[in-house]
A = this chain, B = another copy of it.
Amino acid sequence: LRCLTGDDRSLLSCLGLGTWVTFGSQISDEMAESVMTVAYDSGVNLFDTAEVYASGRYSTDCLAETERGLSRKHIIEGLRGSLSRLQLDYVDIVFANRTDVNAPMEEIVRAMTFVIEQGMAMYWGTSRWNVVEIMEAYSIARQFNLIPPVCEQAEYHYFQRDKVELHLPELYHKIGVGAMTWSPLACGLLTGKYNEGVPESSRAAMKGYAWLKERLCSDEGKKQLSKIKELHLLADRLNCTAAQLAIAWCLRSEGVSSVLLGVSNTEQLLENLGSVRVLSQLTPPLIAEMDALLGNKPRNVKKEARR
């Protein structure tokens, strides 16, 4: 369960601040505070906040809940707890994580409808659900006249494209579920940070991120690193950083309404926000060049068959 809250401006910014990875464990509360202030002053009004103010009690344990029948309790009490910590009356969007999926789908959709009808949230979304699960939630909402989810939080970057470019757009056109993406820099990989190996202070060197280090050293990882170096050159050509190019590239995707950033300090944040200026440079020929370079553009088999 994660919450997202905007402000009284009626449009959400296209760049938001995702804070569940870096905040709490990697940066101090003062830096977190300062990052949020700078973000807000820069026009960002989209904060993925569940753990932000709870950093003192933040736990990296993944709470697996396998027992049936407790999802309603979990969703309602979880959101009440978040609202109380955030000192808010309601959040804009409340997200259901994969871990809630063990409860019956009807219970999840009923509980989400309940918190919306109670005024504790404006909308609800899903986080890391697959398209079949999202479609099931939608069907249940239709069957019992409950409120369907409005968007899915999905990982999206150069090397993770299929869901956001292929599957979610289909859902969007059929049932109106949008995409909010996270990890635009693939845990820092796309910034070029790992181009010359794993630095001591990087996430890949931290306990708990052994999988990241492993992936970097695999054959697949090596191929990706060589592509990242080429994209770095392309960023140089556009007079921007590799991170700005990667984020702008996410924003250029039709189905993406917002991209959540994960930053550790205000410099990084300001640099990341610069990606908005890069967006206009991403012309169709340039996108085609990047697609050719990446070599993983998802193919819509159904659409091609129809031609």
Task: Give the B-binding residues of A (Cβ under 8 A).
Answer: 6, 8, 10-12, 63, 65, 67-70, 72-74, 76-77, 92, 104, 110, 114, 117-119, 122-123, 144-145, 147, 150-151, 176, 178, 257
| Cross-interface CB contact of A70 among B10, B68, B110, cutoff 8 Å | B10
In the complex, are the beta carbons of A176 and B70 less than 8 A apart?
no
A269 to B92, CA, bound (A): 43
| Cross-interface CB contact of A68 among B104, B144, B178, cutoff 8 Å | B178
In the complex, are the beta carbons of A11 and B65 less than 8 A apart?
yes
In the complex, are the beta carbons of A65 and B10 less than 8 A apart?
yes
Copies of this chain per assembly: 4
In the complex, are the beta carbons of B119 and A150 less than 8 A apart?
no
Which residues of chain B have C-beta atoms less than 8 A from A73's C-beta?
6, 10, 92, 122-123
A180 to chain B, nearest CB (A): 10
17 pairs of residues in contact across A and B, judged by CB atoms under 8 Å: A6-B73, A8-B77, A10-B63, A10-B65, A10-B67, A10-B70, A10-B73, A10-B74, A11-B70, A68-B176, A69-B151, A69-B178, A72-B122, A73-B92, A73-B123, A76-B119, A145-B145
In the complex, are the beta carbons of A150 and B69 less than 8 A apart?
yes
| Cross-interface CB contact of A145 among B6, B77, B92, B144, cutoff 8 Å | B144
Which residues of chain B have C-beta atoms less than 8 A from A110's C-beta?
147
A13 to chain B, nearest CB (A): 10
Instruction: Please name 8 further chain A to chain B contacts, defined as beta carbons within 8 Å, in addition to the given A10-B67, A73-B123, sorted by A numbering.
Output: A10-B74, A11-B70, A68-B178, A72-B123, A73-B92, A110-B147, A118-B119, A144-B145
A151 to B68, CA, bound (A): 11
Which residues of chain B have C-beta atoms less than 8 A from A68's C-beta?
176, 178, 257
A8 to chain B, nearest CB (A): 7
Of all chain B residues, which has the CB nearest A104?
Answer: B176
In the complex, are the beta carbons of A122 and B176 less than 8 A apart?
no
A140 to chain B, nearest CB (A): 12
Which residues of chain B have C-beta atoms less than 8 A from A12's C-beta?
67, 70
Which residues of chain B have C-beta atoms less than 8 A from A10's C-beta?
63, 65, 67, 70, 73-74
Which residues of chain B have C-beta atoms less than 8 A from A72's C-beta?
122-123
Which residues of chain B have C-beta atoms less than 8 A from A77's C-beta?
8
Of all chain B residues, which has the CB nearest A69?
Answer: B150
| Cross-interface CB contact of A114 among B63, B70, B117, B150, cutoff 8 Å | B117
A12 to B65, CA, bound (A): 11
**4 closest Cβ contacts across the A-B interface?**
A73-B122, A11-B67, A10-B74, A10-B70
A70 to B123, CA, bound (A): 9
Which residues of chain B have C-beta atoms less than 8 A from A145's C-beta?
144-145
A72 to B122, CA, bound (A): 7
Which residues of chain B have C-beta atoms less than 8 A from A122's C-beta?
72-73, 76
